[in-house]
Amino acid sequence: MSRAIVTGASGGLGLEFAKLLAADRYDLALAARSGDKLEAIAAELRDRHGVSVETLAMDLSGPGAAADVLARVPECDVLINNAGFATNGRFDEIAEERIREEVMLDVLTLTELTRAYLPGMRARGSGRILNVASTAGFLPGPFMAVYYAAKAYVISFSQAVAEESRGTGVTVTCLCPGATATGFADRANAKETLLFKRHVADAASVALAGYRGMMRGRDLVIPGISNKLVPLAARLSPRRLLLWFSRKSVE
Ligand SMILES: NC(=O)c1ccc[n+]([C@@H]2O[C@H](COP(=O)([O-])OP(=O)(O)OC[C@H]3O[C@@H](n4cnc5c(N)ncnc54)[C@H](OP(=O)(O)O)[C@@H]3O)[C@@H](O)[C@H]2O)c1
């Protein structure tokens, strides 16, 4: 049986990815901080699908987190780098520790996990990596500056490694959701922003779009018609207008 790792699997999109993988009979390693939630999810997926599920209750924003995951799960066929969070607020007022955690989780751990599992996948001539970015990665985000920049990194990084991997049997897919109903807005203190007061997609359909795109080996998946317009608008709009619009969405 094939093995998949999902980070941030204790809720939201990560939980939906775990359900899709289990239904396709992947053995799972699920990582997040909330060990109790992971155990409950693992028990349900084992019962329902007869797959093996290992839980990795750990903080993925700590140094060496990717190495710890690799030590516990030496090989995988599917890696879903999903864990991430945002912080809504003026950059100079956000606690330095929170900024560090955000960059570590959203950028560094994702990069190091990709580096950890890619060589094995290439050696075996097959593998799927799904990196969860955001439509936020297509434009600068005043009042969520670090998050938008981190997701721009994830898009650029994923597309570059996808290109390096072409023809090897390994694919790297970048999923760019727009606002989605998960625990994300609450954690980011962004529930009252315009971004989350307009259309909010449901987590199951966003995860399914990403999952299918990953299985088909697509480089980039942007679920939802209005979200597909974001990269285009970001390229064509005058910069000042783009920044104003972006600021109004999250301020
Ligand atoms: N929801 C949206 O509107 C939206 C839009 C675009 C992109 N995204 C992206 O989608 C991904 C999934 O987010 P979501 O919407 O599903 O949000 P969520 O419901 O808040 O889920 C985030 C997951 O990440 C885990 N996590 C957070 N900090 C962690 C840490 N330090 N160490 C280990 N695990 C950690 C959380 O588990 P624990 O708290 O148990 O650790 C949880 O399982 C993120 O990369 C996010 O940036 C979300």
Q: Give me the residue spans of the domains in the chain.
A: 3-250
User: Each residue of 6-32: pLDDT tens digit?
Assistant: 999 999 999 999 999 999 999 999 999
Q: Which two tokens stand for residue 138?
A: 């297509």
CA of 91 to the centre of ligand 1 (A): 20
CA of 174 to the centre of ligand 1 (A): 15
Confidence class for position 1, pLDDT limits 50, 70, 90: confident
pLDDT above 80 for 50: yes
Q: Is 211 a catalytic residue?
A: no
CA of 12 to the centre of ligand 1 (A): 7
Confidence class for position 198, pLDDT limits 50, 70, 90: confident
The beta-strand segments (E) located in 121-208 are 127-132, 170-175, 180-181, 201-202
Q: How far apart are CA 65 and CA 27, in angstroms?
A: 21
Residue type present at position 235: R
As a whole number, mean pLDDT of residues 126-143 equals 98
User: Is 3-250 CATH 3.40.50.720?
Assistant: yes
As a whole number, mean pLDDT of residues 52-62 equals 98
Q: How far apart are CA 134 and CA 23, in angstroms?
A: 25
Q: How many helices (H) and strands (E) does the chain have?
A: 11, 9
Which uninterrupted H or E stretch holds 28? strand 27-32
- Residue 97 phi/psi, 5° resolution? -65, -40
Residue type present at position 13: L
Atom from ligand 1 closest to the CA of residue 105: 31
Q: Which residue ranges have their beta carbon within 6 Å of ligand 1?
A: 8-14, 32-34, 59-61, 82-85, 105, 132, 134, 177, 179-180, 182-184, 187
**Which residue's alpha carbon is at the smallest distance from atom 8 of ligand 1?**
134
Mean pLDDT of the chain: 97
Q: Which of 147, 148, 153, 211 is catalytic?
A: 147
